[in-house]
Amino acid sequence: MLQQRARRRRLPAIHVFLFHHSSLIIHHSKHLILHLWIYSVNLLEKGTRVAWLLIYMLVFVAALGFSTVMCAVARALGVRFGLLDRPSGRKAHARPVALTGGWGFVPAFVILVIFGLLAAGPIAGMLPASLDQLAHYMRNIAGVRGEALAVLSGVALMFVTGLIDDLHPLGPRRKLLVQIVATFPLLAAGICIHGFLPTPIGWILTAMWIVLLTNSFNLLDNMDGLSASVALVICVVLALAAAAGGERWLPALFLAFGGCLGGFLLFNFHPASMFMGDSGSLSIGYLMGVFSIMITYYVPGDKSALPVLMPLAIMGVPLFDTLSVIYIRRRLGKPIMVGDRNHFSHRLLAIGFGVRQTAIAIALLTGATGLLALPLRLLEIKWALLHLFGLVLLFTVIVMLEVAGRRARESRNGTD
């Protein structure tokens, strides 16, 4: 009996290795980061843009390593204190799983950002004259501390709200209220949707957008590795969009969070040994909403104003899941806020996909919609409209495949 219990509690080999070899991971990560940094410095001295790519790689690798260690600790804490998601009802996992993933990657991201804010100035002062370009950008980080702290304040509020909800469910109305309050620091710091609209309208749209995405990613967290992998892909796409717009540090910010999500995915990909909980899913959705409005998509003189629709295309998959599941629940007469197995991921499972296949397929679809959105800045209005129409056709085909799969399944059940 004791041996059977031990086998049931045994972790996958990769997770055991990560937990017991954290110091080894940190040691080798430091060496890799050091080599990337030295190579980047040499390229910066030559004035090449490749240096920025290597800096972004350095940020991603550092975040990945740090988050991996933090998530290993978070999982151990979840098991130690019994903070577990136990099998019941519509849940697919067969054994209790730690619910503390958010405790790992969210604090990891916050710590990395605070470290960057505090260390940028001193590091810039130590750089040689040949690295004036990098020193200039690092000194400029001090000018965005207010915006960075506003983002961290909001995500900290969402993290604490999710943590409380994991322990004692708060209910949808309370969570909605907190989500709205979490937008206040952003508005105070000037982080909001501008466009061609009056400021009060921009504030309202900002709150609605962030609340929508916060709940979309909360709903998307219904399968191993799904929400985190979709968010990771979006972080990469947003980093590309920001870099194409001439930004230097926004891509680093987005990739830092992407790296933190990558560290968590080592524990969350099927079969998961740790879930993110609401502390993780609410934080992810909030940051996706914030990141997507921090980029300037349109400037006067662009070939069309359609690039303002890029966030909708980049976030197309989470929004498609949210809107489709709301439609299905209303059609079936079910409460919108009560969970079920009608999500996009569940519908792919029903037509024959495996769990890993589903997570990968939805992540790839997210990458496809995001990459198709990036050229909108470069296209004249007629070609930009064709791009957007192509995205609509893509989702139309997905719906047709789902309907055909459902009918085939119903037909088989009827003949049985």
| Residuewise pLDDT in 10s, the chain (416 residues) | 333 333 444 445 545 544 555 555 555 555 555 555 555 555 554 555 666 788 899 899 999 999 999 999 999 999 998 888 877 655 665 678 899 999 999 999 999 999 999 988 887 787 777 677 777 888 888 788 899 999 999 999 999 999 999 989 888 899 999 999 999 999 999 999 987 778 899 999 999 999 999 999 999 998 999 999 999 999 999 999 999 888 888 999 999 999 999 999 999 998 899 999 999 999 999 999 999 999 988 777 777 778 888 999 999 999 999 998 888 888 888 887 777 778 888 888 888 888 999 999 999 999 999 998 988 888 888 888 888 888 888 888 888 877 776 776 666 666 55
What is the C-alpha to C-alpha distance for residues 94 and 281, in angstroms, rounded to an integer? 22
Residue 147 carries which side chain, given as an amino acid letter?
A: E
What DSSP state is assigned to residue 270?
Answer: S
Judged by DSSP in three states, 388 sits in helix
Question: Which pLDDT does position 3 carry in this prediction?
Answer: 39
What is the C-alpha to C-alpha distance for residues 265 and 64, in angstroms, rounded to an integer? 10
Query: Around Cβ 314, how many Cβ atoms within 10 Å?
Result: 27
Q: Judge whether 141 and 288 are in contact, CB under 8 Å.
A: no
Question: Which pLDDT does position 308 carry in this prediction?
Answer: 87
Question: Which pLDDT does position 317 carry in this prediction?
Answer: 93
* DSSP H helical ranges for 269-308: 277-294
Is the preceding peptide bond at 335 cis, omega within 30 degrees of 0?
A: no
Question: Which pLDDT does position 2 carry in this prediction?
Answer: 34
pTM of the complete model:
0.86
Question: Which pLDDT does position 277 carry in this prediction?
Answer: 93
Cβ-based burial of 206 (10 A; exposed 0-12, middle 13-18, buried ≥19): buried
Q: 98 has which bridge partners?
A: 84, 274
Q: Which residues of 221-232 are buried (b: 16+ CB within 10 A; e: fewer)?
A: bbbbbbbbbbbb
Q: Which of 73, 278, 90 lies closest to 171, judged by CA? A: 278
Residue 109, CB-side half-sphere exposure with 13 Å CA sphere: 30
Question: Which pLDDT does position 165 carry in this prediction?
Answer: 93
Question: Which pLDDT does position 5 carry in this prediction?
Answer: 38
Question: Which pLDDT does position 137 carry in this prediction?
Answer: 80
Question: Which pLDDT does position 33 carry in this prediction?
Answer: 55
**Element of type H or E holding 395:** helix 381-415
What is the C-alpha to C-alpha distance for residues 77 and 165, in angstroms, rounded to an integer? 18
Q: Judge whether 75 and 273 are in contact, CB under 8 Å.
A: yes
SS (H, E, C) 65-104: HHHHHHHHHHHHHHHHCCCEECCCCCCCCCCCEECCCHHH
